Amino acid sequence: MHDNTTRHLTLITGAARSGKSELAETLAAGSDGQVYYLATMQRWEEDREGVSRIERHRQRRPGSWVTVEVGRELDVCVRGLPAGPGFVLIDCLSVYVSNLLLDGFQEGDDPYTRADLISQAIERLLAAIDERRDLEFVAVTNEVGWGVVPSTPLGRAYRDLLGLANQAFAHRAHTVWLMCSGLKLRLR
């Protein structure tokens, strides 16, 4: 076990539609305290697929859970949660990194100039989680590095920057699960 692991942090990673959110929701449902669902996906009414996805996730959650929609500054949100005991489900880091990468991005910009900003945001989030020992955390993320190399600079930067964020969380998490086709494999 690494010396710097956060005992109250679990990371769930895997491919899209592999069962990550369902596992996280099962863990949350088994907790004794209040559940806070931190949803990072922004709702754009013109994105019918995205709205449908958000609604499917909402319908799976019990009405007693508190949903907080937070696309940026997750660290501020975590620090502002009521005192525990409680359980915090972050769904998901991959959308959070995308939000940070695209915030203010213009066509022709070098996406790698956002690397420090994203790294610092991830470190602030991990520090906030570490400070909140009164809460249990599970973070969901996508494993995007196993597929075809993206054809655009923005796509390649996203893959690289999310990979670094995932590594930071995996190094700090006490428990790490890999989901594949609805099956879970404990990595730590």
Report the catalytic residues.
Answer: 57
What the block records as the tokens of 57 is 């996730």
Sheet of 86-91, strand order? 66-69, 34-39, 86-91, 135-140, 6-14, 173-180, 183-186
**Would you say 20 and 14 are in contact if contact means Cβ atoms under 8 Å apart?**
yes
Residue linked to tokens 């690289």: 160
Q: Rounded to whole angstroms, how far apart are CA atoms 6 and 128?
A: 11
**Would you say 6 and 174 are in contact if contact means Cβ atoms under 8 Å apart?**
yes
Which DSSP state fits 95? Answer: H
Residue linked to tokens 């910009």: 109
